Amino acid sequence: MAKYSTGSGSGSAGESCELCGASDADLETANVAGATLQVCADCSQHGETSKTESSDGSRGDRDTDRKRRAAQNAAKMADAQQPDASHWEDGTNYEDDQLPYLVSDYGSVVTEARQDAGLQTQELAEELSVDESDVLAVEQGRATQAGVGGSVVAKLEDFLDVELAE
C-alpha cells in the first residue's frame, strides 16, 4: 500500500514511492495535487512542478520537454489554420474592403432609391461595374452573408445618394 505525505520524507534511496509503493526505484520529489511527494520515475509524470528532483539531488527536464512539444504542436495547429491566399486575386486588398456597419433597413433603402432612379438591378450593376448578384444581395438585406465588399456599398451610396453605413 502506498503511503502519502506532505513532503516529510527524506528521499533517500531504499524508500518506496509514495504513490505506487515501488521500493526498488530512484525517487524524485514531485508536487502531486498540492502535496510534495517522493515518487518513482513512472509516477513523476503526475507531478505539477516544472523540474523534478531525484533522490540523488539531480534535476530532470521532463516537463520542459513536454512544454516544448506542446508549443510545437500549437504552432503546427496555428500554421494549419492560416488561410490559403493563393486563390485571391492580385491587387485586391481585402483588409481595406471590409463591409461597414449597415443601417437596419439598408435593403429597402437601396431598392427604393434604385426604383426612384428608374433602374433595374442589372442596369444598376452595369452602371457601377459590380456583379448583379451583389446588388441583389444588398437589396435583399443579406450583404454580409453574400460577402459583399464595402466598396460595393460605397458605390451604391454615391450613385444613389443614400446613406447605408452607420
Reading the block at residue 89, the C-alpha cell is: 486575386
Per-residue pLDDT of 75-112, as tens digits, reads 777 666 555 555 444 444 545 556 678 888 999 999 99
Give the domain range for residue 42.
1-60
Confidence bin at 53 (pLDDT 50/70/90): very low
Cα 54 to chain centroid, rounded: 38
Three cell numbers written together for 143: 450583404
Q: Is residue 98 part of a domain?
A: no
Q: What CATH number corresponds to the domain at position 125?
A: 1.10.260
Could you tell me if residue 80 is inside a domain?
Answer: no
Whether pTM > 0.75 for this model: the answer is no
Number of domains forming the structure of the chain: 2
Scanning the structure block, which residue is given the C-alpha cell 458605390?
155
The answer to whether residue 92 sits within a structural domain is no
In a domain? residue 129: yes
**11 in Cβ contact with 27 (< 8 Å):** yes
3-state secondary structure 18-32: CCCCCCCCCCEEEEE
Q: What is the DSSP code (8-state) at residue 100?
A: P
Does residue 41 lie within any of the structural domains?
yes
